[in-house]
Amino acid sequence: MLYNNIMEYKSNNNVVYSCKYHVVWCPKYRRKVLTQGVDVRLKELIHQICSEHQSEILELEIMPDHVHLLVEVDPQYGIHRLIKQVKGATSRILRQEFPRLKQRLPTLWTNSYFVATVGGAPLEIIKQYIENQKKV
């Protein structure tokens, strides 16, 4: 989120931040069950949960066998807590609303997920900035 080459930051009462994450997770056994309305409802639920936890969805894509989420999260809340909330709530609600998911899977999601930080300046620029602070 660059505006005139300046990073756009968010803040809460005591932290100014820009923490963006790319997160990917899959249904148990990588089954292709995120179809036939499950995908639409899952998107709605993820949007709802993220807004409840002051997290901004930058991009969200539901594939039949995995989910891609690009999200900005308050570092005091944390990405792990957000993903735990999203996976827990969506599993419970989707399995209630779509009983066929209970027949095919013991749980909806695998325990694991992929997460990577994105955005900001390259590591070398940040290192150089920190080193140059001594000279200011």
Residue 129 known to be catalytic: yes
> Under 8 Å CB-to-CB from 21, ≥6 apart: which residues?
69, 70, 71, 72, 73, 79, 115, 116, 117, 118
- Cβ atoms 29, 105 nearer than 8 A: yes
Q: Which residue has the tokens 């209630």?
A: 96
Instruction: State the DSSP code for 77.
Output: T
Catalytic residue among 3, 9, 17, 129: 129
Q: Which residues are catalytic?
A: 129
